[in-house]
């Protein structure tokens, strides 16, 4: 089993920036790469503020400046020379395959290629590379620095060594690990997404208002967030991509995305990250009217 000291993260959106922050805060030399320079600037601002806040609350064992200097940003994937590369780019099999193909060419043959995919087959991503034994799913929850779980997904050819090295890394990040077989949506999203989709159906068919659906599930089932609020937090585009993977991968109509969810995504209402989803976040920091 290898002992990882250097971490590369590709994709500086909500998940990639959180994973990079987590790695740097735990003392790893970390690179964060995104092809979009604006995403990198946003991520740097967010991570810097988060690290300063953690320091002021006494929640960071090492000093904040140390963590910040351990983290480097780049728009060029070729700069990555880490022992593990965790991809957290858009939830599209085609786009992820092109990236792992590129990473396979530039990374040392000992480098583990991990995917933070929410639902896409690790076995198929691995098949795009010359190192399927070194490819694994490392599925963080949102937001990665806070949520306690990492779901590890072994592809058909993932080696024991890759599995135990990745598991040990997640545990050094302070996470609890569950292991899933490589079926669409793995464990968490296979169970979560049908619930979020059903909440859209309840809204679509006029069963209740969005506020009442969310309040009902928060107070009625003791969930910290209502399902529509959670879908906005995850990103409606991501939810739709996951449901499409569940629908085609498991071949059951119960996973077919609700037309209202599809329409919101078509309209660019991708949730909190875009300022509007089921709720409108642009007018105040509170959920607004849509
Ligand atoms: P996001 O849309 O916030 O960020 C994606 C980032 O990837 C963007 O900054 C984009 O510029 C960048 N990107 C796209 N193609 C690229 C490429 N070829 N090379 C480098 N950068 C590229 O997406 P988010 O929410 O961070 O999701 C990323 C991944 O994490 C997806 O696979 C998603 O399913 C998964 N995930 C998402 C969760 C969520 O709650 N949003 C939770 C767990 C996993």
Task: Decide if 118 is catalytic.
Answer: yes
Model pLDDT, residue 75: 96
Distance CA 214, CA 98 (A): 38
Structure tokens at 79: 């700069």
Q: Is 91 part of any known ligand binding site?
A: yes
- At residue 149, the 3 state secondary structure works out as strand
The 149-154 sheet, strands edge to edge: 71-74, 29-33, 6-10, 84-87, 112-115, 135-140, 149-154, 176-180
Nearest CA to ligand 1 atom 40: 234
Place of tokens 């806070």: 146
pLDDT in tens, 28-85: 999 999 999 999 999 999 999 999 998 888 888 667 788 899 999 999 999 999 999 9
Structure tokens at 224: 């910290």
Q: Is the pLDDT at 284 greater than 70, yes or no?
A: no
Quote the Cα angle for 193-197-199, to 5°.
120
216 CA to centre of ligand 1 in angstroms? 30
Q: What is the mean pLDDT of residues 140-155?
A: 97
Q: Is the pLDDT at 283 greater than 80, yes or no?
A: no
Q: What is the mean pLDDT of residues 93-105?
A: 98
Instruction: Indicate whether this complex's ipTM tops 0.85.
Output: yes
Task: Decide if 56 is catalytic.
Answer: no
Task: Decide if 139 is catalytic.
Answer: yes
pLDDT in tens, 156-205: 999 999 999 999 999 999 999 999 999 999 999 999 999 999 999 999 99
Distance CA 14, CA 234 (A): 9
Helices (H), 153-286: 160-172, 188-204, 210-221, 227-234, 236-250, 259-266
Q: Considering the chain, what is the average pLDDT of its residues?
A: 95
Nearest CA to ligand 1 atom 16: 89
Structure tokens at 270: 């991708």
116 CA to centre of ligand 1 in angstroms? 9
| Residue 88 Cβ contacting ligand 1 at under 6 Å | yes
Q: What percent of the chain has pLDDT over 90?
A: 92
Q: Is the pLDDT at 289 greater than 60, yes or no?
A: no
Nearest alpha carbon to residue 149 among 120, 109, 111, 191: 191
Q: Is the pLDDT at 213 greater than 70, yes or no?
A: yes
Distance CA 77, CA 35 (A): 8
Model pLDDT, residue 58: 84
Distance CA 52, CA 29 (A): 18
Q: What percent of the chain has pLDDT over 70?
A: 97
Q: What is the mean pLDDT of residues 132-159?
A: 98
Radius of gyration of the chain (CA): 19
| Residue 39 Cβ contacting ligand 1 at under 6 Å | yes
Q: Counting atoms of ligand 1 from 1, which one is nearest the CA of 115?
A: 32
């Amino acid at each position: 089993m290898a002992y990882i000291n250097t971490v590369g993260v590709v994709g500086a959106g909500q998940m990639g920036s959180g994973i990079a922050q987590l790695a740097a805060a735990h003392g790893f030399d970390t690179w964060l790469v995104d092809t979009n320079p604006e995403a990198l600037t946003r991520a740097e601002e967010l991570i810097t503020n988060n690290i300063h806040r953690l320091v002021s609350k006494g929640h960071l064992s090492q000093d904040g400046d140390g963590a910040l200097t351990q983290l480097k940003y780049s728009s060029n994937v070729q700069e990555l020379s880490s022992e593990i590369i965790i991809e957290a780019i858009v939830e599209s099999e085609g786009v992820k395959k092109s990236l792992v193909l590129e990473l396979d060419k530039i990374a040392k043959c000992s480098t583990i290629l991990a995917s933070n995919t929410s639902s896409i087959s690790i076995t198929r991503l691995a098949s795009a590379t010359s190192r399927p034994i070194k490819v694994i799913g490392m599925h963080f929850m949102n937001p990665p620095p806070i949520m306690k779980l990492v779901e590890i997904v072994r592809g058909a050819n993932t080696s024991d060594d890759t599995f135990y090295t990745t598991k040990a890394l997640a545990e050094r990040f302070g996470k609890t690990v569950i292991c899933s077989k490589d079926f669409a949506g793995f464990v968490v999203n296979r169970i979560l997404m049908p619930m979020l989709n059903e909440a859209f159906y309840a809204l679509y068919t006029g069963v209740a208002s969005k506020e009442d659906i969310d309040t009902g599930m928060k107070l009625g089932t003791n969930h910290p967030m209502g399902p529509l609020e959670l879908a906005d937090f995850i990103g409606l585009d991501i939810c739709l991509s996951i449901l499409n993977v569940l629908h085609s991968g498991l071949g059951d109509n119960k996973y077919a995305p609700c037309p209202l969810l599809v329409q919101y995504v078509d309209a660019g209402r991708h949730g909190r990250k875009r300022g509007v989803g089921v709720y409108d976040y642009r007018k105040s920091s509170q959920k607004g009217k849509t």
